[in-house]
Structure 1
Amino acid sequence: MADITKRFGWRHLRSAPTAHIRHHKRGRLAHDGPGLSFWYRSLSAALSEVPVNDRELAMAFHARTSDFQDVTVQATVTYRISDPAEAAARLDFSVDPDTGVWRGAPLEQIATLLTETAQQHTLDVLARTLLAGALVDGVASVRNRVAEGLAAEPRLPATGIDVVAVRVVAIRPEAEVERALRTPAREQIQQEADRATYERRAVAVERERTIAENELASQIELARREEQLVEQRGTNTRREAEENAAADGVRAEAEAARKVRLARAEAAAAREVGAARAESQAAWLRVHAEVDTGTLHALAATRFAENLPRIDSVTLSPDVLTGLLTRLGRPDPEARA
């Protein structure tokens, strides 16, 4: 919208570079061009402001496919007014000289023209397309058909409008139909997820089985080695017992031989001692056999006295002393003989 200021009954207009201003004064064109700035009187001026920049028009409308399914088409059309004079002549772009506000709604008229034209060509395309095809390839086909239809529409060049670009954002069915269409894909995805889960579980079970088999094999190997250890310990124990028994036998034989030798030595010594004692006794007897009886009695008394305990006093009666003296004074018949 142009910027209009008031000074002493005059009006000053200053427009943007993207706005084409047409100023008619008393039926004649006084100013014509974009980005103008000039003074004028409101009572004698007729102003038109035509935007010449690219403008985006978003549109959304319903259509029906060949299998009688409702879809919503979202599209955007970019256009510009290439001939402001033609546009101002065909559409009401006049503005109030005092406020600079459009008297009508020219952009809404252009939007209605573009929307209805695009909708007509969209309906023509989708009416011969199945829903599945419209969802898969409908965006490109609708975009091409709408671009061709707008380019061939005679009212647009006559109004000074050029279509710059056409974009189809989305073609969407109703919510229930969209959920129904998503169900097979979701089920397939779920099946793939379940299959992946089952495979992962199978792999985990296989790994657990492998681990269990390895543990069992380890336990079997450990038991086998323990059995070998027990057998080896038994063999070692038996060998040790045999070695100990052999050592004990050798020690017993050595001890027996030692004892036999000792016994033989003791026996020989005993025989030697006995023989010496016998010879000594024989000599003793021979010596005593040659001595008279009185000497023997004296020796016996001496030996007796040596073996008697200590006697402090001895009492001899006359009878004993008389008999002893008698015997000592009596001569030995055997000695005489």
Structure 2
Amino acid sequence: MAGLHSIASEIPDSFRDEIDAFIAWMELERSAAKLSVEAYHQDLAQFAIYLKHSTSHADWQTVTKEDVSAYLQFMSNEMNYTRTTVCRKLAAIRMFSQRRFVESQQTDFAELVTGPSISWKNETIPKALSIAQVDALLKVPVVSTPAGLRDRATLEVLYSSGIRVSELCNLDLTSINLDEGCCMIHGKGNKERLALLGGPAIKSIRDYLAVGRPTFVKPKTQNALFISKFGTRITARYVQKFVKTAAIQAKVLTYNKEDGTLDTQVSPHTLRHSFATHMLQGGADMRAIQDLLGHESVETTEIYAKTNPEMILEAHALHHPRTFH
């Protein structure tokens, strides 16, 4: 089963139709973000391939909660997935199973299946960069080239606004207002929100628009803000790869892999975490940060407070009436 990391085209035919119907439901009825849909598709494909090769099930009809539990053990013990990854994949299976039950009264085979417990300390608290580390990362792009101007602007926008990488890639010229220092974001579920741009981000966008973007733009991308060397919108994969390369070059959160090569913990999402953490450290209201990040619940935003125990202690010292003896 070493080949479990599979593309969706390898889904066994007898399992495919229900997965396709579920994915269509996510796209059309739930308006789920593209990256979320792709992740769920991949997670369900992997589970279907596991069932095909490791059980006697010919389709979804006979799958049980014991199969789901066994698959969780397989991911943990054989695939060495982290507990966070296992729980995320279980969430996809649960939603799929619940949808089958609601739609056609099929058995909810994932009901009551529990995933591994997750330690806040070790796994789910987001990693944030220091301001010095952010500065080092932002200085990597060579702004004497069109590509460097574009890459600097993407980094500046990610950190200045806290938007998701998918939202960055979907920005249009009509989405941004540089005079007002803001941009309109179409987030998860097609919900709109306003994101803010600081001075350095505005300058980097103006520089890119003046010199960099005209090099890349094609008729089909006249309205796209960030354009690749091929004349298409930049992709999330490109941004992830570029951010990783820049972080390694800047020696930010780097480590040596088993083969001796250098890697980094930094991803585009790290800049989103850093945005939220630095806003919080600067005294911004939690609800305001929630709105800027596009979080449904403030509880999601409160995760960032867990990264700053010293900030919590300071808040207690400043505001609790019985702090001082």
TMscore range, shorter length: under 0.3
The structure whose residues are more often strand, as a share, is 1
Q: Scaled by the length of structure 2, what TM-score is found? A: 0.15
Q: Scaled by the length of structure 1, what TM-score is found? A: 0.15
